[in-house]
Structure 1
Amino acid sequence: MSFFRKKRLFIILIGIIVLVALVGFSIRDRVNLTTAEQFVSDVIGVAQNVISTPVKYVAGIFENIDDIRNTYEENQILRERLAQYKGLIYEVQEIKDENEELRALLDKEDSIRSYNPIHATVTARSPERWIEQLTINKGKSDGVKVNMAVITAEGMIGKVQSVAPATSTVQLLTGFDEFNRISATVSREGGKGIFGLIESYDKETNSLLFKIIEDSDQDIEEGELVVSSGMGGVFPAGLPIGTVKEVVPDQYGLTRTALVEPAANMYEINHVVVVERLLGQDDEDEAEGEEE
């Protein structure tokens, strides 16, 4: 019994020594691996490669999806900023055009120093009467009165037809008929002007009809400027009305009528000046018959 116990202890001791030797052998720095170690290493490497390849592929798909999502979001942001940029460009251009128009109107004040200019903005135009009348944002409380001349930087566009406390309706020259007349003259430097009346607008020729009332042998030439004469007492003198296109006599050859192209663009009107004549206000009522 004692012999078998000693033999068991001896075997255990030998096993411990072999185990320690194997552990020490396996952890030391070696260049060459044993066959068993090589087999185990290869099996583990192949298994890792088999497992990691699909894992990397799936991870790559998710990364690509994230990249696509990020690219889409960045694209949306860039589109919004591009739209804002285009909007700013249009806004700047509109402000630039409006600024040029207002500057041109301010320059007109020098040519009408004897009169009070009332600056106004067009607020409405009826599609049915687009070339006949418009509405502005100045009225009786601003000093606007019926029959006052209305101009743009290019020239006269019409007269005030009716007045409310805060707004006014402007009758355009293109809406004039036989009941609307303007005392006018052909402007000539260093010479005598030829007087007449702007009586109506002819839609067939797109021209204002300037009836010459002065008995004069002077010929009117194409391109000459027709301006307000100021003789009516309401409109100031010197406001550009238009240029002569053609002169036609009546069927009896007794009178002459000039076809006048309006100086101002009647279709694109944004800002206007209502001209209040400071002199001759006492004669206004007497002159209304002539200027209307």
Structure 2
Amino acid sequence: MLNDPFRRRRVVLALLVGVSLVLLTASFGSADSGPLRPVRNVVMTVLGPIEEGASAVLKPVRDLFGWFGSTLDAKGDAKRFKKERDELRRQIVDGKAALAENDRLRRLVGLSRRLGLSDYRPVSATVIGRSPTVWFATVQIDHGSDDGVRVNQPVIDGDGVVGTISAVTPGTAVVTLITDRESGVSVRVIGPGDEGTVVAADGTPGMLSMELLSRRSGVRVGDPIVTAGTRSGPLATLFPPNLPVGFVSRIDPDRLQTDGVVEVRPQADLNHLDEVVVLTRSTWRQ
């Protein structure tokens, strides 16, 4: 059995390891100058290369376990960082939404105080639906007849005129915007004082045209347009006077002379309505 050279080498190596363990154990209990010191030095000299070789062989295994540990720690950190990032993003979005809402409310309060709109029993509402087409411009709000909302009542936001109530249920209502082709608002131009009617612009969704009564108007680009507040006659209106409607955005001299028409851009951002106010009082003071 011991004739196998590989087996003999393993036996010799085992004996050497065993002897070295015995000698090392004994040497730890003896002084550095004891009789076993030379033997211990010989053993360390013989086994040193073996220990270094074993350490070199086992290093990839230790590195592999270290890599797994580092990877698991990195994944845990990545999940934590992602959670913190998502939370920060949510806080930023919430903050921006709160700032936008505060800005809308501030503009609305300013308009209400400036024009005395509290006399018209305003009812605040949130837009919950929008028209799927550009030519029939309507939105749905979350207040209805149970809140005093009725057909034909004016609707505004913090920037100006939005439209009128065209349909009502107990809990909701439909607002037809001033850019709808079925809409029309009696207005006047601040400055020249010309009066006319604002309607949806032909071929330009989202824009308005003001049909002037006077073909010799001194109107200019940038002039503000407000509600006329006329209660009778051809320009009778549902809106209280002086509500912002828009401003003159373009004048075609030929069309102004022939048709008395100028282009008007709405003051309110009708494409991004969130909060509106319904003026539920049916009459007002001039």
> Is residue 161–residue 243 contact of structure 2 (8 Å, CA) maintained in 1?
yes
Of 100, 107, 120, 1:115 maps to 120
Whole-Å Cα distance in 2 between the matches of residues 28 and 209 of structure 1? Answer: 109
SS state of the match for residue 267, structure 1?
A: coil
Residue equivalent to 1:65: 68
Task: Please identify, of 27-36 and 68-77, the stretch whose mean Cα deviation from structure 2 is larger.
Answer: 27-36
> Is residue 126–residue 275 contact of structure 2 (8 Å, CA) maintained in 1?
yes
Deviation for aligned residue 1:50: 4.3
Residues 80-99 of structure 1 aligned to structure 2 (within 5 Å): 80-99=83-102
Residue equivalent to 2:194: 194
Residue equivalent to 1:237: 241
Gaps of 5+ in 1: 1-22, 282-292
Deviation for aligned residue 1:212: 2.7
Question: With structure 2 as the length reference, what TM-score do the two structures score?
Answer: 0.74
Whole-Å Cα distance in 2 between the matches of residues 278 and 175 of structure 1? Answer: 22
SS state of the match for residue 202, structure 1?
A: coil
SS state of the match for residue 218, structure 2?
A: coil
Label 1:271 to 1:247 Cα distance change in 2 as closer, same or farther (>3 A).
same
> Is residue 134–residue 205 contact of structure 2 (8 Å, CA) maintained in 1?
no
Label 1:158 to 1:233 Cα distance change in 2 as closer, same or farther (>3 A).
closer
> Is residue 137–residue 166 contact of structure 1 (8 Å, CA) maintained in 2?
yes
Which has the higher Rg, Structure 1 or Structure 2?
Answer: 1
Label 1:29 to 1:122 Cα distance change in 2 as closer, same or farther (>3 A).
closer
Q: Deviations over 1:194-244 (max 9, x none)?
A: 22222443234864232233x696522332222111113631111111112
Please say if 1:144 is aligned against 2:143: no
> Is residue 230–residue 236 contact of structure 1 (8 Å, CA) maintained in 2?
yes
Whole-Å Cα distance in 2 between the matches of residues 153 and 251 of structure 1? Answer: 31
Label 1:238 to 1:36 Cα distance change in 2 as closer, same or farther (>3 A).
closer
The sequence identity of aligned pairs, in percent, is 25
Task: Please identify, of 132-141 and 90-99, the stretch whose mean Cα deviation from structure 2 is larger.
Answer: 90-99
Label 1:27 to 1:272 Cα distance change in 2 as closer, same or farther (>3 A).
closer
Residues 1-292 of structure 1 aligned to structure 2 (within 5 Å): 30=33, 36-55=39-58, 58-113=61-116, 114-129=119-134, 132-177=137-182, 180-188=183-191, 193-204=193-204, 207-213=207-213, 219-231=218-230, 232=236, 234-244=238-248, 245-246=250-251, 253=258, 256-277=260-281, 279=283
Deviation for aligned residue 1:249: 6.7
Deviation for aligned residue 1:62: 1.4
Cα RMSD (Å) of the superposition?
3.3
SS state of the match for residue 127, structure 1?
A: coil
Residue equivalent to 2:7: none
Deviation for aligned residue 1:88: 1.7
Label 1:205 to 1:236 Cα distance change in 2 as closer, same or farther (>3 A).
same
Deviation for aligned residue 1:256: 2.1
Question: With structure 1 as the length reference, what TM-score do the two structures score?
Answer: 0.72
